[in-house]
Amino acid sequence: MAKKSSEKKVAPVQQENEKAAKLESFVADSTGELMTTNHGVKINDDQNSLKAGERGATLLEDFILREKITHFDHERIPERIVHARGSAAHGVFKVYEDMSELTRAAFLCDPGAETPVFVRFSTVAGSRGSTDLARDVRGFAVKFYTQEGNFDLVGNNMPVFFIQDAVKFPDLIHAVKPEPDNEMPQAASAHDTFWDFISQMPESAHMIMWAMSDRALPRSYRMMEGFGVHTFRFVNAKGVSSFVKFHWKPLLGVHAVAWDEAQNISGKDPDYHRRDLWDAIEAGAFPEWELGVQIVPEEDEFKFEFDLLDPTKLIPEELVPVQRIGKMTLNRNPDNFFAETEQVAFHVGHVVPGIDFTNDPLLQGRLFSYTDTQLIRLGGPNFHEIPINRPVVPVHNNQRDGHMRQTINRGKTSYGPNGIAANDPQQAKAADGGFVSYNERIDARKIRARSRSFFDHFSQARLFFNSQSDPEKNHIIDALSFELGKVKAVEIRERMLAVLAQIDKGLAGEIAFALGLHIPKIPLEELNNSIPADGDRADYASTNPEGSLAKSEALSMAGTIKDNIKTRKIAILAADGVDEKSLSKVKDTLVAEGAVVHIIAPKLGEITSKGDKKIVPDESFLTAASVLYDAVYVPGGGNSVATLEAEANAVHFLNEAFKHCKAIAADDEAIQVLESTYFFKKLPADYAKETVLREGIIVSADFNELASTFVEMIALHRFWERENPRKIPA
């Protein structure tokens, strides 16, 4: 008979809320404390090494020096192969209603439970030192510390992937990483090896449309979607399975920056996304996402024109709506970047009872890869004992020892079955929460092959492109033209044009014109070089059906949430003599709506309003740039207006804000500042108030009207329609 556990039993809700407290026990605050070695010996002198005389040789016995230097030498761990540059935060998740009809996962069945989470966002291709604003996929990984163990939802901000089988993942990453002969370019796909690979892998066509779209340039981590990418399973207590796709829907909407703007931000503030996330949480503007699921009953597995197990395909929301089942709120920044953000170990194989895998060949490979990666990156098999990775529930098994083991296991036995210790720890019955893999019937021969249902490589790429607004389509064309313009080998450009022609001939034609090339006529079966050595090209030829769905509104960012300006950063340009009322009314209105407002002046220090009030600017033109803000306002005041009109940096600030399609407002008294810009000359002669929400510019003497309209304009995010007809040299 098993002996009773002596461990304290904790109520589930209390248990869920204790992750922060458990981490707190590992936090070291040195305020007011005396310095010690790592083993607790108090240090009398940390400024001088032990020597044989004041000018003599350093002695080997200086254990304080050796410990300090040795630890310093080993402070860095190998960076992640992919997703090396990241930022993270703590938070909580709550399900809206009991989901037990679909899954037995306890954290999805108790609306009263609050599950701690740790979320890491990242770029993929760049190193730790690269920029946040690279054109790239963004990682979106969530660790749920549930009462049944950790569940890691390891996804991206795009719902599909480049390849269908994990065996091609090393090839993909080798191709997109800096080229091995010269280690260039960093955090960029615009080079020969990447497009050489992609042009011969037509299964990548759908993902390329996403990667070349505005989704690759998010305005903020807080304003991008997340996706589980793969099709998973929900399994309920009766053993009934449903297929499930996971979505994260940001409550601030899905927004992007312009490509030119992203390049400028990389120079002005390469930590732009990191800083944005950190500052928002520190200010109490907690980011929120709703967890959505698309559910497909087991019996409907083969009802679609695509294969549910194909990771290069999504389920259009018109076919299977997304049900929003819960909300995640990020409410606390890490205490230590290395100990938490760098040492957190996500694994797609960390699931809890009620969530299971499918036979997606990319997912199956990831189940192996993650553990293998953590073993080398975090030093051995005990990475689960690092505080940020520990579950909120006790861990009991017969695994022992290993590098950096922290658990002190009592007893003689570390095997099972055993009679010495009453067979403890014992296996858990399914009814007691034990994980049971879904009982899927498998009857097949061993074979290296790919299902014919995976061979449609273009219909969803076409669906994505056709679903974009005109500005979004133009951005895809510009991105592909830029990327392929960086490719040196003409044959790679031509082969890629042939691939793009399968998606949309107009798209391919625009890019061919930009590259000064013609679209080659390459048969479908000649596009794919990823075939077995003894394979027949005809057997592995791509297919290109039309697809029954012409458009999907959910695939465009044009219809995203545009009803608030919470956390948007607004610049107010001001100098000595600014009209305090003009400044304060607009600023107070913006702040009341949740915006972050910075006053930017020609220099730091105080400026004096025309009413002799001292105002302290937040930034000067020396460090501020329009690319770091969502909108700009110029208040009145004769002297301030005259100074700004003569200030080249102020005029450039406005020109650049216009170029990047941002909302611009000015007091009527400040019209001469706008008249000094390049873009004002480009506005229609009949410019009037009714054109405001098209052009994104308002000039008014009525503070109340100006402030309220400005808020409405900022909420629209960008005025992309003015991009082409109003191009300016800023």
pLDDT at residue 687 in the model? 58
SS3 177: coil
The reply to whether the predicted model has a pTM over 0.95 is no
Q: Which of 693, 691, 696, 703 is nearest to 679 (CA)?
A: 696
Residue type, 346: F
CA distance readout (Å), 481 to 457, 475, 642: 21, 10, 42
Domain range 464-555, CATH class: mainly alpha
pLDDT at residue 730 in the model? 65
The residues annotated as belonging to the active site are 83, 156
Buried b / exposed e over 188-214, threshold 16 CB at 10 Å, is bbebebbbbbbbbbbbbbbbbbbbbbb
Q: What is the mean pLDDT of residues 143-159?
A: 97
Q: What percent of the chain has pLDDT over 70?
A: 96
- How many H helices and E strands in the chain? 20, 18
Give backbone dihedrals phi and psi of 664, rounded to 5 degrees, phi first. -130, 135
Find out whether 72 is annotated in a ligand binding site. no
Domains of the chain, residue spans: 86-166+201-389, 464-555, 569-722
pLDDT at residue 15 in the model? 52
Find out whether 135 is annotated in a ligand binding site. no
Q: What is the mean pLDDT of residues 689-696?
A: 60
More confident residue, 148 or 31: 148
Give backbone dihedrals phi and psi of 323, rounded to 5 degrees, phi first. -90, 125
Q: What is the mean pLDDT of residues 139-166?
A: 96
Q: What percent of the chain has pLDDT over 90?
A: 75
pLDDT at residue 613 in the model? 95
Cβ 367 vs Cβ 357: under 8 Å: yes
The two beta strands, 138-146 and 115-123, are antiparallel
Domain range 569-722, CATH class: alpha beta
d(CA 280, CA 645): 33
pLDDT at residue 7 in the model? 44
pLDDT at residue 536 in the model? 76
Strand order in the sheet with 631-634: 619-620, 596-601, 569-573, 631-634, 663-667, 697-700
Query: Which ranges of 293-383 does DSSP label H, i.e. alpha helix?
Result: 361-377
pLDDT at residue 306 in the model? 97
Phi/psi region, residue 365 (left: phi>0; alpha: psi -120 to 50; beta: rest), is alpha
User: To 5 degrees, how large is the angle CA 87–CA 557–CA 496?
Assistant: 85
Rounded to the nearest 10 degrees, what angle do helices 490-503 and 470-485 cross at?
A: 160
92 has which bridge partners? Answer: 116, 329
d(CA 79, CA 62): 32
- Cβ neighbours of residue 137 under 8 Å, at least 6 residues apart? 123, 124, 156, 157, 158, 210, 211, 216
Task: Return the CATH number of 86-166+201-389, one of 2.40.180.10, 3.30.930.10, 3.40.50.12780, 2.40.40.20.
Answer: 2.40.180.10
Residue tagged 């002695």 (tokens): 59
Phi/psi region, residue 522 (left: phi>0; alpha: psi -120 to 50; beta: rest), is beta
pLDDT at residue 388 in the model? 96
Asked whether the CA dihedral 395, 397, 402, 405 is positive or negative, the reply is: positive
pLDDT surpasses 60 at 179 = yes
Poorest-pLDDT segment among 130-144, 499-513, 539-553, 586-600:
539-553
Q: Which of 210, 138, 311, 198 is nearest to 552 (CA)?
A: 210
Find out whether 80 is annotated in a ligand binding site. yes
pLDDT at residue 108 in the model? 98
Taking only the tens place, the pLDDT of each residue in 220-266 is 999 999 999 999 999 999 999 999 999 999 999 999 999 999 999 99
Find out whether 366 is annotated in a ligand binding site. yes
d(CA 720, CA 730): 16
Poorest-pLDDT segment among 86-95, 286-295, 538-547, 625-634:
538-547
pLDDT surpasses 60 at 186 = yes
pLDDT surpasses 90 at 615 = yes
d(CA 306, CA 533): 27
d(CA 463, CA 673): 45
Buried b / exposed e over 61-82, threshold 16 CB at 10 Å, is eeebbeebeeeeeeeeeeebeb
SS3 510: helix
Taking only the tens place, the pLDDT of each residue in 80-106 is 999 999 999 999 999 999 999 999 999
d(CA 401, CA 407): 9
pLDDT at residue 693 in the model? 56
Buried b / exposed e over 540-556, threshold 16 CB at 10 Å, is bbbebeebeeeebebbb
Q: What is the mean pLDDT of residues 391-396?
A: 91
- Cβ neighbours of residue 367 under 8 Å, at least 6 residues apart? 348, 349, 357
H or E stretch at 491: helix 490-503
- pLDDT confidence tier of residue 373, bands split at 50, 70 and 90: confident
Q: What count of other Cβ atoms lies within 10 Å of the Cβ of residue 534?
A: 5
Cβ 514 vs Cβ 487: under 8 Å: no
pLDDT at residue 73 in the model? 85
Q: Is 403 exposed, middle or buried (0-12, 13-18, 19+ CB in 10 A)?
A: exposed
H, E, C per residue of 264-313: HHHHHCCCHHHHHHHHHHHCCCCCEEEEEEEEEEHHHCCCCCCCCCCCCC
d(CA 316, CA 206): 13
Poorest-pLDDT segment among 68-72, 417-421, 690-694:
690-694
Taking only the tens place, the pLDDT of each residue in 320-353 is 999 999 999 999 999 999 999 999 999 999 999 9
More confident residue, 375 or 137: 137
Q: What is the mean pLDDT of residues 457-477?
A: 97
SS3 76: coil
Residue tagged 């935060």 (tokens): 89
Q: Is 251 exposed, middle or buried (0-12, 13-18, 19+ CB in 10 A)?
A: middle
Residue type, 644: L
Phi/psi region, residue 411 (left: phi>0; alpha: psi -120 to 50; beta: rest), is left
Phi/psi region, residue 86 (left: phi>0; alpha: psi -120 to 50; beta: rest), is beta
Q: What count of other Cβ atoms lies within 10 Å of the Cβ of residue 518?
A: 11
pLDDT at residue 8 in the model? 46
Q: What is the mean pLDDT of residues 317-321?
A: 98
pLDDT at residue 371 in the model? 87
Taking only the tens place, the pLDDT of each residue in 3-62 is 434 444 445 455 556 788 888 888 888 888 888 888 888 888 888 888 898 888 988 899
d(CA 147, CA 168): 36
Find out whether 568 is annotated in a ligand binding site. no
pLDDT at residue 533 in the model? 73
More confident residue, 654 or 2: 654
Q: Identify each DSSP E strand in 353-417 by its residue range.
A: 355-356
CA dihedral 438, 439, 440, 441 (to 10 degrees): 170
591 has which bridge partners? Answer: none
How much is the mean pLDDT over the chain? 92
- pLDDT confidence tier of residue 2, bands split at 50, 70 and 90: very low
Residue type, 534: D
Find out whether 377 is annotated in a ligand binding site. yes
d(CA 593, CA 644): 27
